[in-house]
Copies of this chain bind each other. A is one copy, B any other.
Amino acid sequence: MLVQIADRSKATFAEAVTPYGLPVHLARAILLLDSPAPMRALSEHLACDRSYITGLADQLEERGLITRTPGQDRRVKLLTLTEAGQQLRDELSEAVAEQSLVLRRLNDSEREALEPLLERLLAEEG
Protein backbone atom coordinates (compact mmCIF):
# COMPACT_ATOMS: atom_id res chain seq x y z
CA MET A 1 0.00 0.00 0.00
CA LEU A 2 2.78 2.40 0.85
CA VAL A 3 4.36 1.81 -2.51
CA GLN A 4 1.04 2.29 -4.29
CA ILE A 5 0.42 5.53 -2.46
CA ALA A 6 3.87 6.79 -3.22
CA ASP A 7 3.45 5.90 -6.89
CA ARG A 8 0.23 7.84 -6.92
CA SER A 9 1.79 10.74 -5.12
CA LYS A 10 4.47 10.82 -7.78
CA ALA A 11 1.85 10.69 -10.51
CA THR A 12 -0.08 13.45 -8.81
CA PHE A 13 3.05 15.54 -8.61
CA ALA A 14 3.71 14.94 -12.28
CA GLU A 15 0.19 16.01 -13.18
CA ALA A 16 0.40 19.12 -11.05
CA VAL A 17 3.62 20.02 -12.77
CA THR A 18 3.09 19.21 -16.43
CA PRO A 19 0.93 22.27 -17.16
CA TYR A 20 4.13 24.20 -16.58
CA GLY A 21 5.88 22.22 -19.26
CA LEU A 22 8.50 20.83 -16.93
CA PRO A 23 9.82 17.28 -16.61
CA VAL A 24 9.42 16.01 -13.08
CA HIS A 25 13.07 16.23 -12.16
CA LEU A 26 13.40 19.81 -13.23
CA ALA A 27 10.37 20.69 -11.14
CA ARG A 28 11.77 18.89 -8.13
CA ALA A 29 15.06 20.68 -8.55
CA ILE A 30 13.37 24.07 -8.67
CA LEU A 31 11.38 23.31 -5.55
CA LEU A 32 14.59 22.32 -3.78
CA LEU A 33 16.29 25.56 -4.73
CA ASP A 34 14.79 27.45 -1.86
CA SER A 35 18.15 29.14 -1.56
CA PRO A 36 21.25 28.92 -3.78
CA ALA A 37 22.73 25.45 -3.46
CA PRO A 38 25.82 23.65 -4.75
CA MET A 39 25.12 21.05 -7.36
CA ARG A 40 26.47 18.45 -5.00
CA ALA A 41 23.63 19.17 -2.59
CA LEU A 42 21.07 18.69 -5.35
CA SER A 43 22.54 15.36 -6.28
CA GLU A 44 22.11 14.19 -2.70
CA HIS A 45 18.55 15.40 -2.38
CA LEU A 46 17.56 13.90 -5.69
CA ALA A 47 19.56 10.74 -4.99
CA CYS A 48 21.39 10.75 -8.27
CA ASP A 49 24.87 11.19 -9.67
CA ARG A 50 26.52 14.60 -10.01
CA SER A 51 26.86 14.09 -13.74
CA TYR A 52 23.10 13.92 -13.99
CA ILE A 53 22.75 17.22 -12.18
CA THR A 54 24.93 18.83 -14.82
CA GLY A 55 22.29 17.94 -17.37
CA LEU A 56 19.45 19.22 -15.24
CA ALA A 57 21.29 22.46 -14.57
CA ASP A 58 21.93 22.88 -18.30
CA GLN A 59 18.23 22.61 -19.00
CA LEU A 60 17.24 24.95 -16.20
CA GLU A 61 19.77 27.45 -17.43
CA GLU A 62 18.52 27.21 -21.02
CA ARG A 63 15.03 27.98 -19.77
CA GLY A 64 16.34 31.00 -17.93
CA LEU A 65 15.28 29.66 -14.56
CA ILE A 66 18.65 29.51 -12.85
CA THR A 67 22.18 30.84 -13.10
CA ARG A 68 25.40 29.18 -12.04
CA THR A 69 27.47 31.40 -9.80
CA PRO A 70 30.84 30.38 -8.37
CA GLY A 71 30.95 29.82 -4.62
CA GLN A 72 33.54 30.95 -2.10
CA ASP A 73 35.24 27.62 -2.82
CA ARG A 74 35.81 28.20 -6.51
CA ARG A 75 35.30 24.56 -7.42
CA VAL A 76 31.70 24.87 -6.34
CA LYS A 77 28.91 26.30 -8.45
CA LEU A 78 25.84 27.60 -6.71
CA LEU A 79 22.58 27.20 -8.54
CA THR A 80 20.52 30.31 -8.00
CA LEU A 81 16.97 30.90 -9.15
CA THR A 82 16.48 33.83 -11.48
CA GLU A 83 13.47 36.04 -10.99
CA ALA A 84 11.54 33.91 -13.47
CA GLY A 85 12.73 30.87 -11.54
CA GLN A 86 11.52 32.28 -8.24
CA GLN A 87 8.14 33.03 -9.70
CA LEU A 88 7.80 29.61 -11.25
CA ARG A 89 8.87 28.04 -7.98
CA ASP A 90 6.08 29.83 -6.13
CA GLU A 91 3.50 28.75 -8.67
CA LEU A 92 4.71 25.17 -8.64
CA SER A 93 4.72 24.98 -4.92
CA GLU A 94 1.14 26.18 -4.78
CA ALA A 95 -0.02 23.83 -7.53
CA VAL A 96 1.65 20.85 -5.90
CA ALA A 97 0.19 21.62 -2.49
CA GLU A 98 -3.29 21.90 -3.97
CA GLN A 99 -3.11 18.51 -5.60
CA SER A 100 -1.44 16.72 -2.72
CA LEU A 101 -3.20 13.53 -1.76
CA VAL A 102 -2.33 13.99 1.88
CA LEU A 103 -3.87 17.43 2.00
CA ARG A 104 -6.93 16.51 -0.02
CA ARG A 105 -7.80 13.22 1.63
CA LEU A 106 -6.92 13.69 5.28
CA ASN A 107 -8.00 16.24 7.83
CA ASP A 108 -5.76 17.82 10.43
CA SER A 109 -6.13 15.18 13.11
CA GLU A 110 -5.58 12.39 10.62
CA ARG A 111 -2.41 14.03 9.43
CA GLU A 112 -1.29 14.37 13.00
CA ALA A 113 -1.87 10.67 13.52
CA LEU A 114 -0.08 9.74 10.31
CA GLU A 115 3.07 11.72 10.79
CA PRO A 116 4.61 9.95 13.80
CA LEU A 117 3.96 6.60 12.17
CA LEU A 118 5.76 7.65 9.05
CA GLU A 119 8.59 9.00 11.16
CA ARG A 120 8.99 5.66 12.83
CA LEU A 121 9.13 4.01 9.45
CA LEU A 122 11.82 6.40 8.33
CA ALA A 123 13.82 6.29 11.53
CA GLU A 124 17.35 4.99 11.26
CA GLU A 125 18.00 1.45 12.26
CA GLY A 126 18.64 0.68 15.95
Binding site for B on A (CB under 8 A): 1-10, 47, 101-102, 105-106, 110, 113-115, 117-123
Count identical subunits in the complex: 2
Asked whether A122 lies within 8 Å of B6 as measured between CB atoms, the reply is no
**CB–CB A3/B4 < 8 A:** no
Contacts of A105 in B (CB 8 A): 120-121, 123
21 contacts between A and B (CB under 8 A): A1-B115, A1-B118, A1-B119, A1-B122, A2-B6, A2-B102, A3-B10, A4-B122, A5-B6, A5-B122, A6-B6, A6-B7, A7-B47, A8-B121, A101-B121, A105-B123, A110-B120, A113-B113, A113-B117, A114-B114, A117-B117
Q: How far is the CA of A106 from the CA of B113 in the complex (A)?
A: 14
Task: List chain B residues, Cβ under 8 A from A114.
Answer: 114, 117
